[in-house]
Every structure is written in C-alpha cells, then in structure tokens.
Structure 1
Amino acid sequence: MTASTRHPDPFLDGPTTLRVERHGAVARVTLDRPDVRNAFNDTVIAELTAVFEALGRDGSLRAIVLAAEGKAFCAGADLNWMKAMAGYSWDENHADAGRLAHMLWTIYSCPVPVIARVQGDVYAGGVGLVAVCDIAVAVESAGFCLSEAKLGLLPATIGPYVVRALGEQASRRYFVTAERFSAAEAHRLGLVHELAADAEALDAKVDALAVALLANGPAAVRACKRLVQDVAHAPITLQLRDDTARRIADIRASDEGRDGVQSFLSKAKPSWLA
C-alpha cells in the first residue's frame, strides 16, 4: 500500500471510537476501543454507520479494510450498554436493535468491497461484523463464538448474514450451543477466507487482497459485489436471466468495459492501471 494519510475529521465531527485512514484508493477503518475488546455501544454503532455511508459515496475508493486495535477484534455488546438495555421497554429495545441492524446492512451493502482484518477473538455481534464483510482474513489464534444463548438472548440482527456466511447446518449448531470455535473451523465453514500465522502474515495477506482489487476495473468490482448479493438466493427465473443479460450488456457498453476488453486484446494496460 502507499503511505498512510490520517483523516481526523473525515465524516463526523471526528469519530471517537474509530480510526479512519486513507492509503491511496484503500480506506482503513479501525475499531479503537481495545480496553473493552472493541465491544459495541450506541456510539460505535452510530460511527460505523456514518463512516461506511460516507465511504460508500466516495467514488475514488477501491477497497476498505475493517480492522481492530488490541487483542480482540470485537467482543459483541459493551457491558455498560447491556446494563442500560436491561431497563429498556420493548419499543426502546426494538429501536436500539434497529440501529444495529441498519449498521450491519450499511457495511454489507457498501458498494466498495470490504476486507475484515481479524487479529483476535470475535464474539456475538462481532461475528456479524465479520460476516457482513466481503472477504475475511484471520490469525490462526483467533476464536469465534456466537455467545448470545448463554445470556438468554439470540443472534437475531446478525443472523441473516451469519447464516449466509456459515451455512445453515453450522448455524443451527453454533447458534444453540454457543460453543467457541477456532479460526480453522471458521475457515473450513467459509466465514473466514484466509488464515495467517501472525500479525505480519495477516497484514501481508490483507495487502495482497487489496492489490488484487486495485488491479480490476473499479466499476466492474462494484457490479460484481452487487451481482453476488442479488443472485445468491434468487430462483433462476426468466426475469433473473434477463436481468443478468442486461447487466453484462450495460458493462460491455460502458467506457470501462470497452477499455478493458480492448486493452486485453491489444495487450495494453487498461486505463485504471495506466
């Protein structure tokens, strides 16, 4: 990556729970509450939502890395936040959960591909945070746990994303048992795409993935991300087949598509690499 540029006040009046940096066309968002294992609270949720909404509107961005400071990637809900929720009414609980659901959707639907850099343990809502990312790389020592049932709760707002990432059968087990499982198991099940032996190897893999994204057509990458989300669970109907034909026609006829194909045929670099 290129040298880092710090943006102290890029999207809010300055995030207080996150660090946001720019490395050329790659943004890095770091959870920065290591003293509480980067657990969620109202502020974290609001700041993640605002930052990813802003990043999604930035047409010059090609990749986002979601990272964390300290020994844990994300331990789920903050204890003080949970204490406050204990006194909430149903309406207050519903509104609070709705904000978390909106934050997860904002990251999942962000047009820019998101890479999770998982350097430590991931619990409860943190598993959802990994699941909404497009690519996840984790150190081999990281542990994962959908721990909600131990507290008499359930992983509801993260559920749609975790079930897609883990698969139905694994989710049926880990939702109800709240067992801890290893990074190797998370990798086997598909929640994690790559494993790294240590932090240095983790950074190397994340950087390599960012470089791979930068080598591809910017509009094509965004269209590919949207395509997967739209067709993954859709029945293959005549309407879907026509929709996919329209999508490829749109991008073939675009300036980027024409440039990419012509550059390939002439063995030249496309404009986004020139």
Structure 2
Amino acid sequence: LMDAFVMAHRDKTARVVVLTASSTSFCAGADLKWMKKMVDYDYETNHKDAMQLALMLNQLYTLNKPTIARVNGAAFGGAVGLISCCDVAVSTKLSKFCLSEVLLGLAPATIAPYVIKAIGARNAKRYMLSAEVFSARRARRIGLLSEVVSEEDLDQTVTMFIQKFRAASPQALAMTKQLVDMCDGQNIDATLMQKTAATIATIRVSEEGQEGLNAFFTKRKANWQQD
C-alpha cells in the first residue's frame, strides 16, 4: 500500500484515490502470517515494523488529492484506521466495524491519531476499549463514515464524489486539505489569521487560481475540467 500511495501522490494525472477491496470484506484486520512472525520479534524489530505502518497511514492521510474509502464489507482493526485516513468514506448498510486489538492483548496504536480525529476521543475510548462490533449506521453517526448506502448504490455514490472532486482544481483541493489540518483544533488568533490569509493570497496568484477566476468570468470550463 505504501508504494501505491507514494505513486498516487506523485502522479499528476491521478485526480482521486479510491481505497477498496476486491473481496466481500473491506479488510478483516492484520495478516495472520504476519501476526505469527510478530510474536518472536524483539522491541527494535517491532518498533521498526510499527513505524512502517505509521508511515503508510500518514502517506494516505496526507495525500495531495482527495481520497475515498469504498467500504464493501467488514472492516476490523487496522481497516478502521485506513478508513479514518480517507477524506470521504462510503459504506454499504450491512458493513460491520470493530477495533478489536485489545482482545489480542494489543493496542490500536498507529491508527489511534486518525481514528480519534475521525470519531473523537470519547467514541474512540468506547470502541477501542470494548472491542464491540458496530454497524454502518452507528459508524455514520459517530463520524467514521460519510455516507451509508445500499450495496446497489455503492458505486453510484462513490462515482458522484469522484465527479465532484474532478470538477475542482487539483491545487485547490490539495491546499484545502492542508488548510483543514492547519485550522483544526487551533485558536482563531492573529497567527492563524495570517496563515489563512497567506493561503488564499498564494492560491489567488497561482496559475490554477488565475485560470479558475478567468474561466468563471469568461463563462467557460477551466482547463482541469476539459477531460
């Protein structure tokens, strides 16, 4: 996954990234063969392995284009972290979710920052500590999912988001993602106001900013909307 995310980040022709599964489960958790090997790892090897996972999650979270989790089945353990890293998550009504690490004597450590951002600390404590299985409807209510639809409507809903993202400036999308993270949890003070003013000033004078404004005033499509 790390290689795929790095490739998507660098690919200027890629406008949206959709994360999904080819099986009937989105992701049932950690690979069993890997878990068996992990039992014999020492601290240093465990730390190195965990850092690889942490870096992969961060690569997904900081991708410079919109990301969509297309959840087509059960999502357990680390899968909840992958969903939390995406900008939008669309799931079928029958999908189930679980943060099951404590049942194995482990903790959902590397995914925790992203899960907490998605569902909040209070909900994170409940589902991380109880390891209870919860429904797509509940996942939508606590903020893990953006939309819950029937299996028949899953692809149509994902396509709708793709079309909306493709209508927007790639640069504006990337900078807006950064803007949200920059503002999240910050006090609205002089420093933040300076940063937000610098953001809009930078994008207004950029090539895509100028193209978007000119396209609007001349009533034509912007160049990123031509394909």
TM-score (norm 1): 0.80
Pairing partner for 2:191 from 226, 234, 239: 239
2:73, 2:194 → 1: CA distance?
Answer: 44
1:236 to partner: Cα distance: 2.5
Indicate yes or no: 2:148 matched with 1:192: no
What is the aligned residue count? 226
Higher helix share: 2
Partner of residue 171, structure 1:
124
1:259 to partner: Cα distance: 2.1
* 1:201 alignment partner AA: D
* 1:228 alignment partner AA: V
* 1:219 alignment partner AA: Q
Partner of residue 49, structure 2:
96
Indicate yes or no: 2:203 matched with 1:248: no
Unpaired segments ≥5 residues, structure 2: none
1:193 to partner: Cα distance: 0.2
Secondary structure of the structure 2 residue equivalent to 1:138: strand
Partner of residue 164, structure 2:
212
1:224 to partner: Cα distance: 0.8
Unpaired segments ≥5 residues, structure 1: 1-47
1:269, 1:145 → 2: CA distance?
Answer: 44
Q: Which runs of 4+ in 1 moved over 6 A?
A: none
1:169 to partner: Cα distance: 1.2
* 2:219 alignment partner AA: K
Partner of residue 133, structure 1:
86
2:202, 2:87 → 1: CA distance?
Answer: 24
1:235, 1:162 → 2: CA distance?
Answer: 22
* 2:21 alignment partner AA: A
Partner of residue 118, structure 1:
71
Partner of residue 40, structure 1:
none
Secondary structure of the structure 2 residue equivalent to 1:195: strand
Indicate yes or no: 2:178 matched with 1:226: yes
Higher strand share: 1
Identity %: 43
RMSD: 1.1
Secondary structure of the structure 2 residue equivalent to 1:144: strand
Per chain length, whose mean CA-contact separation is higher, i.e. which structure has more relative contact order (CA < 8 Å, sep 6+)?
2
